[in-house]
Structure 1
Amino acid sequence: MKFITAFLLAIFMMVSVTSTAFAEDATLVKLPQVHGEGAYLIDVKSGQTLFMKNPDKPLAPASTTKIMTGLLAIERGNLNETVTASTTMLNNKLVYGTQIYLAPGEKLLLKDLLYALLLNSANDAAVDIAEYIGSDLPNFVDMMNQRALEIGATETHFQNPSGLTESGHVTTAHDLALIARVAYQNPVFAQYVRTKSQAISRSKADLPIQMVNENKLLWRDSAVDGIKTGYTAAAQNCLVASVTKDGRQLIGVILKSPGREIYTDMQDMFEYGFTQYKQTILKPTGSVISTAMVNNEPMNLIIDRPIYITTKLNEQSPTLDLRVIPTYTSALTSVEEGQVLANVEVLNKGTLLNTLPLKSSRSISAPTKQVKTHSYLPWVIGIIIMGIILPLFIWNKRYSDFQRCKQRRFTRRRESSN
């Protein structure tokens, strides 16, 4: 009997332990299974990282390079200006692969070249834009690398504006996410990369005019709103994509993926970001972040948009640090309401997530310059006195002289008559 009781108790304990272990396993969150060699998922509003795989591994970006080319074109160029293609279009070492077949001397508006660049991924359009913005290709490549450093993409080095395979032309999944985030925050850029198709104007017949976006997710999922695909034999499949849902925007990057599973992998990353993280407002619009002194008066410095924080479900919110950097170098004597006086950097464990402008909450006028009349008062009084008393003195002296002279004449006449 004791043996049977012990046996049943042992079975009960095994079942209980197994059930508990199964329950614990069920609560484990399954991470996205990404086939690409590098991947990154970032929350656009907060700048926080949600998922990564080999984030700092140097990889070829292929045509996702054109994100930077397009951003510079929008920041530095005039969209309505005409761009004339140069003889570089005939250089098959710089221009090959996907093209719209630009010929030397052909004229296109910059805005149409951008559709060819960002939708059709035309390499000749990339070179044409680079020569227009930078005057020549080396100078434009320098501009690309400088802009990457400004964004914080320190492990990125561009060698050309198109993304065609070239030694030393590399980025990382992390860097590319940073570049894409900055680019997408430009509303003109965002409008381009969410466009599915667009006809452009060409001066010659029988040339491609319908630019079709190569991003398959844009056609499959209405929540997807950009950004750029890429492929070369060396880089394999590359994809940067943006999705906006329920007020949140995520940007994902996958580099060097072997096949078309890159699209389902990206969707898995997006699903993970939306279901396993929540976003809240750390500081609402109008929050006072710091103060500045203007004419010995304290001035509140406020933000004109919220500071967001992204937190993993069932975990404590990360601690964000705010660092204020003034933009003025000398004492302030006057400010206008809404004038930018500083920037606030949002950091998570030393990593820069966001930089927002801090604006003055009200206007303060410069002090009125008062004329110091008191130092001239004695002179003014003296002049007034001299102007009044001196003539009186002179008149009195002359009058006295006249009276004396008159008296003398009277005395002489009186003596003569006697």
Structure 2
Amino acid sequence: MKKFLSYILSVFMLVTFVGQAFGGWQTDVSAATKKSLPKAPSIIGESAILIEPTTGTIIYEKDPHKKMYPASITKIMTALLAIENCKMNDTVVYSKKNLDSLTAEDSNIQCQVGEKMSVKDCLYALMLSSANETATALAEHIAGSSEAFAKLMNERAKQAGATDTHFANPNGLHDDNHYVTAYDMAMIMKAAIQYSVFLDVIHTTEYTIPANNKRTKPFQSYQRHKMIFTTSPYYDADVIGGKTGYTDQAGKTLVTYAKRGNVSLISVVLKSNGEQVFDDTKKLLDYGFDNFNYENVSENDSRFNFDTSNDFISPFSDTISNITVDKNASILIPKGISFSDLDTDVSFNLTDGSFASITYKYGDMVLGTANINYTQSKDNDETKSEETTSTNNIVTNAVSTTTKAPEKANNSKTTTNNSKKTSFNFLPIILIVLFIAIVAAAIIAIKAHQRKLNKIRDMKRRYRH
């Protein structure tokens, strides 16, 4: 019974907090007063996307879900699977079947049948020289064949959130059944940049593959992503690296990871023309870095600046509950736009330490989310000494706080009220009714339990007589 009553009180605390935070904020930014987003650039690429990988914010998109041929940016997935399934000092052997499949036009590093190379050396050959035979050698080393490896690629793509992609080979050579989308490639790149070895490889401009059992001299492997060469006209100091690709059917493709200050961006451009792919990428990156910045949620959104020092204390339990917004949560906001200009959606999903999340949007652009955390801790002696007073006032204070929340919100946002559309809010009434219903249910349950005990006692007395 003690646990049951404590549960009832916890539920009331949660709905009361929701009433506090959102009861007075059933508002929308008027379309007439909504500020315009920064003007997006015009690019040559047929399909493209620019995302911030931490928040998942899509800053720019151009047919991002259109199925396109990827060419050698496929090798990002091949590298990802090699990193996740191999040790860097594992030995890869180049097979006759692999090398016989090469054509004169294929990118390669002149490997020989039986040549042995470490996985580390293979990664540099794969991502810098875009060696097709190296992609196949890694596939055979990991899965036994390119066909089996392609199945692993498709499974890993789905895990990364790339649901409209299908890989048929490890190198990106044209196949009608081998396609990606710009969005999917961004998700695959997002998974790959979690590994420091991947970042080291794509940021390298030149790598020496040492002599081995078939190679008498070292081989110099050069980066093809021109935006990381300081001597290149396309050099960009923000660019960490990425992967280029080209086939007649795919056109020029490019995936890029860049960072400026504390903002990271992933750019994907598909089917661009020649060197224009670097100009397209530069336009996208500058658009993102110049017009968006991080803002901490708890420091900027006054709806959640509640004093939680006087926590609700249950008279039936020795724990206290805290409800707070994740203080580490930040979202990417267009410069010139404030938190008061944003729309919010709240979704309730009870997980460990969190019972809801807030999604911030500006128009159709999703800017990020913040969790509402719910934790319990043991009372201290000082809290227990004040338990009686807190117990007597808990319901009165909670209901009073709920009804005052709109006033508090309005006071903190006086400068933005003229740009809001408001409507009568039924949530406080609903919360009160819900609390009454919970209490009524508890009373009914207690009485039913008592009646059951009485019947059992009557039966025992009859049995004795």
Question: Which TM bucket (shorter chain)?
Answer: 0.5 to 0.7
In 2: Cα distance, 1:46 partner to 1:300 partner: 25
Instruction: Please tell me the residue identity of whatever aligns with 2:222.
Output: V
Would the aligned equivalents of 2:49 and 2:268 in 1 still touch at CA under 8 Å? yes
Give, as a single letter, the amino acid of the residue that structure 2 aligns with 1:42. Answer: I
Residue 301 (structure 1) shift:
11
TM-score calculated relative to the size of structure 1: 0.66
Alpha carbons 2:182, 2:268 under 8 Å: kept:
yes
- Per the TM alignment, residue 200 of structure 1 is displaced from its structure 2 partner at its CA by 1.5
Provide closer, same or farther for how the CA distance between residues 223 and 362 of structure 1 changes in structure 2, counting only shifts above 3 A.
farther
The number of equivalent residue pairs is: 313
Change in CA separation of 1:276 and 1:234 when aligned onto 2, cut-off 3 Å: same
Match of 2:382 in 1: none
- In 2, the alpha carbon distance for the partners of 1:147 and 1:119 equals 23
CA contact (8 A) 2:329 2:370 kept: no
Are residue 222 (structure 1) and residue 237 (structure 2) matched? yes
Within the alignment, does 1:113 sit opposite 2:122 as a pair?
A: yes
* Distance apart, 1:312 and its partner CA: 1.8
Q: CA deviation at 1:88?
A: 2.1
Report the counterpart of residue 243 of structure 1 in structure 2: 258
Q: Is 2:330 the partner of 1:308?
A: yes
Matches of 2:294 and 2:70, distance apart in 1: 30
CA drift of 1:223 comes to 1.6
* 1-structure distance, mates of 2:142, 2:318: 46
The separation in 1 between residues aligned to 2:81 and 2:119, in whole angstroms, is: 12
Deviations 1:173-231 (A, max 9, x none): 11111111121122221121111111112313466611111000111122210111111
Q: Structure 1 residue 85 and structure 2 residue 94: aligned?
A: yes
**Does the alignment pair 1:232 with 2:247?**
yes
- For the Cα contact (< 8 Å) 1:47–1:354, is it kept in 2? no
Aligned to 1:272: 287
CA distance in structure 2 between the partners assigned to 1:355 and 1:76 by the alignment? 33
Distance in 1 separating the partners of 2:91 and 2:51: 36
Partner of 2:74, secondary structure, is helix
2:171 counterpart (141, 157, 162): 162
> Relative to structure 1, is the Cα distance of residues 115 and 277 closer, same or farther in structure 2, using a 3 angstrom cutoff?
same
Q: Give the direction of change, closer, same or farther, for the CA distance of 1:300–1:115 in structure 2 (3 Å limit).
A: farther
- Cα deviation, residue 360, structure 1: 9.6
Residues 149 and 360 from structure 1, CA distance in 2 versus in 1: closer, same or farther, beyond 3 angstroms? farther
Q: In the alignment, what sits opposite 1:142?
A: 151
Correspondence for 1:194: 203
Shift of 1:281: 2.7
Q: Measure the CA separation in 2 of the matches of 1:71 and 1:311.
A: 31
What residue in structure 2 maps to residue 256 of structure 1?
271
SS in 2 for 1:319: strand
Q: Deviations over 1:291-347 (max 9, x none)?
A: xxxx997898999994331112333345365665658xxxxxxxxxxxxx8999886
- Counting only pairs closer than 5 Å after superposition, residues 369-384 of structure 1 correspond to structure 2 as none
1:319 aligns with 344
Change in CA separation of 1:190 and 1:302 when aligned onto 2, cut-off 3 Å: farther
Contact preservation (8 Å) 1:345, 1:353: no
Q: Which runs of 5+ in 1 are unaligned?
A: 1-26, 285-294, 328-340, 364-418
Distance 1:297 1:283 in 2: 25
Q: Is the 8 A contact 1:116 1:211 kept in 2?
A: yes
Normalising by structure 2, we get a TM-score of: 0.60
Tell me what 1:128 maps to.
137
Q: Which deviates the most, 83-92 or 37-46?
A: 83-92
The answer (yes or no) to whether the contact 1:310–1:317 under 8 Å persists in 2 is: no
Unaligned runs of 5+ in 2: 1-35, 230-234, 300-316, 379-465
Amino acid at match of 1:49: I
C-alpha spacing 1:297/1:81, structure 2 compared with 1 (3 Å): farther
Aligned residue number for residue 297 of structure 2: 282
Amino acid of the structure 2 residue aligned with 1:186 = Y
| Paired AA for residue 114 in structure 2 | G
1:140 deviation in Å? 1.0
Give the equivalent residue in structure 1 for 2:48: 39
Kindly provide the amino acid, as one letter, of the partner of residue 167 in structure 1.
Answer: D
Compared CA separation, residues 192 and 210, structure 1 to 2 (3 A): same
> Closer, same or farther in 2 for the Cα pair 1:200/1:318, shift >3 Å?
farther
Q: Could you say what the CA RMSD is over the residues aligned between the two structures, in angstroms?
A: 3.5
The answer to whether the 8 A contact 1:96-1:123 is kept is no
- Equivalent residue letter for 1:268: K
CA distance in 2, matches of 1:276, 1:192: 29
Cα offset, 1:168, TM superposition: 1.2
Alpha-carbon distance change, 101 to 277 in structure 1, aligned in 2, over 3 angstroms:
same
Identify which of 71, 74, 85 aligns with 1:65.
Answer: 74
Counterpart secondary structure, 2:344: coil
Q: Mean Cα displacement is larger for which, 195-204 or 274-283?
A: 274-283
Deviations, residues 367-414 of structure 1 (Å, cap 9, x unaligned): xxxxxxxxxxxxxxxxxxxxxxxxxxxxxxxxxxxxxxxxxxxxxxxx
Aligned position for 1:99: 108
Q: Alpha-carbon deviations, 1:141-176, whole Å to 9, x = none?
A: 111101111111111100000011011111111111
| Higher RCO by CA contacts (8 Å cutoff, separation 6 or greater) | 2
Identity %: 34
Question: In the alignment, is the contact (CA less than 8 A) between 1:66 and 1:118 conserved in 2?
Answer: yes
8 Å contact kept, 1:89–1:95 = no
Equivalent residue in structure 2 for 1:152, among 150, 153, 161: 161
CA distance in 2, matches of 1:359, 1:134: 45
Once structures 1 and 2 are overlaid, which stretch shifts more, 309-318 or 240-249? 309-318
* Equivalence for 2:462: none
- Check the 8 A contact 2:253/2:270 in 1, yes or no: yes
| 1:269 to 1:343, Cα distance in 2 relative to 1, 3 A | farther
